[in-house]
Amino acid sequence: MTRSADALRPHERAVTTPTGFDAGLWFIGRIRTPWHRRSDCPHRGDAETGPDCHIEVFGPWDAALAGVGAHENLQILYWMDHARRDLVLQNPKFGDSATGTFALRSPVRPNPVASSVVRLLAVDGPVLTVRGLDCLDGTPLIDIKAAFGAMT
């Protein structure tokens, strides 16, 4: 599930990361999906045909859900807490060359904030039912935003 420090693939490059952080995040909820191993997760979520997933919002933040039911689509930000953060060049498919992290959507990145636009199916108190996620069960939630236009 994790990529340990010695798991560099050919052509990949790691850098020395800064000591200390510049800003802090609160985990404001938890995402429930059918996937318990990294290898089971889809490459990208599908807001039309993907399985139903649940987003549990913790108090006191659940009060901020007022009005979300009016939106067909929501943008979800979540924290890929199992991903290493020091790779600048990655070789996702074990190919002949590597690609810069910022040209990819891999969970491996300096700040592992993932973003998906999901279809909202139901709101039941602090729990949303949605389609379009791609992450492991138990993934920490960072943000929910109204989504306009189509998907990224």
- Which spans of this chain sit near its own copies (rule: CB under 8 A)? 13, 15-18, 20-28, 57, 60-61, 63-68, 70-71, 74-75, 77, 79, 81, 87-89, 98-105, 109-111, 113, 115, 117, 140, 142-152
Q: Is the Cβ of residue 1 or residue 146 nearer to its own copies in the bound state?
A: 146
Nearest alpha-carbon partner for 90 in 103, 78, 80, 99:
99
Q: Is the Cβ of residue 34 or residue 69 nearer to its own copies in the bound state?
A: 69
Q: Is the Cβ of residue 34 or residue 122 nearer to its own copies in the bound state?
A: 122
- The CA R_g of the chain, rounded to the nearest whole Å, is 16
Q: How far is the CB of 68 from its own copies (least distance, A)?
A: 5
What does the alpha-carbon distance between residue 9 and residue 84 come to, in Å, rounded to a whole number?
13
First to last CA, the chain: 24
| Cis peptide preceding 110, ω within 30 of 0 | no
Q: How far is the CB of 54 from its own copies (least distance, A)?
A: 15
**How does DSSP assign 71-120, residue by residue?**
-SEEEEEEE-TTS-S-EEEE-TT--SS-EEGGGS--S-SSS-EEEEEEEE
Q: Is the Cβ of residue 42 or residue 104 nearer to its own copies in the bound state?
A: 104
Q: How far is the CB of 31 from its own copies (least distance, A)?
A: 14
